[in-house]
Structure 1
């Protein structure tokens, strides 16, 4: 019996150490549940204290028993399901591949940005996406995301031409 108490005390200390300085509220709540469980509190009481269901506490304890503290680490949330139909996604894909934003009524932009795609989806399908959601959608469709670069509107064309010549010379010498 004394060995079990020592193991339990070691586990309690391990959980407390993991909780110290933790900023992830979801993980902290899971660790609290395990701490209370290790201290002998019933599932119903733990669930009531933490504001969740007994089933949730049972799941936490089961994950802890199976994989230790690593079993409590929350996975990546899948996020909201895709709002566009397969046909709408195909239409969006074709649009990005075949047309420029100016071709469909946007200001004269050279390339599609996630913001422009978001606005086009809203205008065309009346579906609202977040910017992050659009970037995930574009990645799923096989596009890569890069941040735009800008050129100076008031740049001196002669200096730019000289720089291009120098750059080409340097590039040839490196080959």
Structure 2
């Protein structure tokens, strides 16, 4: 402004202070309207939110009324309730500020009893009351990993590729994941009562004949009279999970980790496939972390 008062034109004055002509004319208009005060910058700390604090609180309460939301659903809700349009990215920022979680929902079968946890608690109490000695506690389950499983995601600038042997291998696998004993993994031809009994025998031998409290699902081969009779004869007390409740069987997370390992590994043969499963199972089953959540729920019963 001093240069203009000294006789310079707007263009010359702008050149002296290295600003654009557009900025120079803006400053001149501000000077003419408001004087010196018009040239003082006002910093607001960034662009203000379209939603007020009160509206954000209202939105948060509405979101609590329903369990799970897709980003598109929240966008539509904001538009409907407040007539404000946000991008998916902006909506995600708002939801993170609410401390909401963004994850794949854990599936629960609609046939799973609502009181599954209480049902298992009752079964455990009954079993524990009938055992009068120190015992091994563990989980049994069968799985059938195969080389076509692809559970691993990768970061990549291009479409991710992995070199694999596309020959399909599959292994019917029995696993025992103990909380306080020796883990066992074996490959069986079938999953009938005969093979379940054989696996129970191996579990008992590997754990020196100690009494075993075994938690397992109610598959047909597990609840067969032959299986129950044999288990009882070798000192194994079986506690059956409520129907459609795999989340209460801690070994399920080990199978999931094994499938992820297989998807990362180049499998050369059926033998190497089985060895990958065997080695990974033994490594993971030595960790108590897979059962930690289960123990947090049911440890008081086992301690009585």
TM over 0.5: no
Which has the larger Rg? Answer: 2
Given the two structures, how large is their TM-score scaled by the length of structure 2? 0.24
User: Which has the larger share of strand?
Assistant: 2
Query: Which structure is higher in RCO with an 8 Å CA cutoff and minimum separation 6?
Result: 2
Given the two structures, how large is their TM-score scaled by the length of structure 1? 0.38
